Amino acid sequence: MIGDFMTYYIGQALGIAVTIGAILTMQIKNKKPMLIVSAIVNVLSALNILLLDKFSSGVIICLVAVFQIIFSLWHEKKGTEIPLVEKIVFLALYVAGGVVGFEKPIDILSIIAAVLYMFAMIQKKEQNIRLFLLGNMATWTVYHTILGSTAVFAQIAGIISSLIALYRYRKSK
């Protein structure tokens, strides 16, 4: 009983850490640091879901996202385009991860969020990344609301932060 109590509160604390990370991610102007913070946020999100729910599609999808970010950083460093094959592989990994962890209707949301995230990570412009992440965060908002996780605040804060960043960017042009 004490273990379940602690697991729940540690999971909720991770949701708050995810919130802080989501806010930071949306306010970063350059792609490389944005991706690094996003990778950390995805690891924390996977732990949050694992502690509050169990090993599910949400956990798998967050971990696949970390690998996609690593590949995106590698392409950024090398100055190479992301090949179509790699895009297809990650799309397949997201869907397969969602299917493997699928147990209840909520898992459909994590698959939709994953596909939006995949498209965000293959964008060249930070503004396009933010636009796809808006859809991703809206989907995760519903997921975390159903799960009862404090990470819902990450999604809401991320949406607000992203909208502010999009506005600031447009205003500065």
pLDDT at 67 (0 to 100): 94
Q: Which pLDDT band holds residue 173 (cuts at 50, 70, 90)? A: low
Answer whether 26's CB lies under 8 Å from 162's CB: yes
Tell me which residue range forms the domain holding 142: 2-172
Q: Which pLDDT band holds residue 2 (cuts at 50, 70, 90)? A: low
Q: Cβ of 21: how many Cβ atoms within 10 Å?
A: 22
Q: Give the integer Cα–Cα distance in Å for 63 and 56.
A: 11
> Across residues 46-73, what is the average pLDDT?
90
Instruction: Using alpha carbons, select from 116, 110, 139 the residue that is nearest to residue 128.
Output: 116
> Across residues 48-57, what is the average pLDDT?
85
Q: What is the overall mean pLDDT for the chain?
A: 87
> Across residues 92-101, what is the average pLDDT?
89
Count of domains observed in the chain: 1
Q: Cβ of 68: how many Cβ atoms within 10 Å?
A: 28
Mean pLDDT: which of 25-34, 102-111, 157-166 is highest? Answer: 102-111
Q: Cβ of 35: how many Cβ atoms within 10 Å?
A: 19
Q: In the numeric block, which tokens belong to residue 23?
A: 């806010």
